[in-house]
Amino acid sequence: MSSPVIGIDLGGTNLLVGLMDEDGALIARTHRPTDASRGDQAVMDTIAEATQSVCQESDTPLEAIGAIGIAVCGAVDHGAGIVLRTGALDWTDVPLSSQLQDRLDRPVVLENDVNAAAWGEYRRGAGRGSDGMLAVWVGTGIGGGIVLDGHLFHGPRGTAGELGQTKADNTGAEPRILEAIASRTGMRALANEATMSDSMLMSLAGNDTEKIGTAELATAFAAGDEMGVHVATTAANVLGSAIANAVTLLSIDTVVIGGGITEALGEPWVELVRTQFRNDVFPPQAATWCRLLKTELESDAGMIGAAMLAVDVQ
């Protein structure tokens, strides 16, 4: 029988730590500000302290924890347990797994945050029961994670799933990748290119496109503001086409869309993505047998996925 596990989601702003049983049931949780400016050693000290805190809260001895899974925003070598590069934390070549293991004396498995979110949705969320799944997380950027034949697919060099880095527009003077159009950053750029006047979106942002954030986009979109709808629809159309290409290539039966933008814009925006996906996917029958779903686990997906990875290494 598997032991309890710890799942950790380490982001640039916040750190989430959850203690879970082998089925993914949450026993205790806590969070801390990441405050990456303190440096990697201080952040790891905070991770260790938060891990010990959830154990104490649930009267679970640290020694009873079977393994610890940690999801990190950025490029990782999951086999070696090394964070290769993450701009949100300003880390390069940080041996996170071994240093956490030194602090906590428990096995540690490291994964990219969107890969972990994909695994969480596949095991405990919207992707349950799928034969093959793509997770697409839309926030400041766009990340992807792939599950094939019941396993996370990393590819021979460990970089599979980076849907946001694929080319999406070759028509302009400077070709653009998907996340330069369909992420929050991309939507801000679309607003900057738009020519609508009397825009609620611009008003909410103080007429400064650099101040357009998730909340402003969600409010303007929900209100039917012309610019807000234009920006969100353009992003949804490009994202839907990119997802159709991925499904055409992989022949998977489930796509789960998550991330801060998805959660804020909600099901109406996901339906726009679905519409374009159905128009573009091949064969046309894939529009009926491939489910395109909104995240169930939302901001907990990475933490739960990391915990499920910890269950798998016991």
Is residue 179 over pLDDT 90?
A: yes
State the pLDDT confidence band at 173, using cuts at 50, 70 and 90.
confident
- Mean pLDDT within 56-61: 94
Contacts of 174 (CB under 8 A, 6+ apart): none
Is residue 16 over pLDDT 70?
A: yes
Is residue 1 over pLDDT 60?
A: no
Contacts of 294 (CB under 8 A, 6+ apart): 126, 256, 257, 258, 262, 266, 267, 270
Is residue 280 within 8 A of residue 241, CB to CB? The reply is yes
Q: What is the pLDDT of residue 172?
A: 76
Angle subtended by helix axes 40-57 and 96-104, to nearest 10 = 50
- CA dihedral sign of residues 291, 297, 303, 309: negative
- Encode pLDDT of 259-296 as tens digits: 999 999 999 999 999 999 999 999 999 999 999 999 99
State the pLDDT confidence band at 196, using cuts at 50, 70 and 90.
confident
- Encode pLDDT of 209-262 as tens digits: 999 999 999 999 999 999 999 999 999 999 999 999 999 999 999 999 999 999
Using the CB atoms, write b or e for 225-242: b if 16+ within 10 Å.
bebbbbbbbbbbbbbbbb
Q: Quote the tokens at residue 261.
A: 């933008």
Q: Quote the tokens at residue 9.
A: 């989601």
The position carrying tokens 């946001």 is: 164
Q: What are phi and psi of 290, to 5 degrees?
A: -105, 120
DSSP assignment of 29-54 equals: EEEEE--GGG-HHHHHHHHHHHHHHH
Q: What are phi and psi of 274, to 5 degrees?
A: -60, -45
- Cα angle 249, 251, 257 (rounded to 5 degrees) comes to 90
The whole model's pTM is what? 0.94
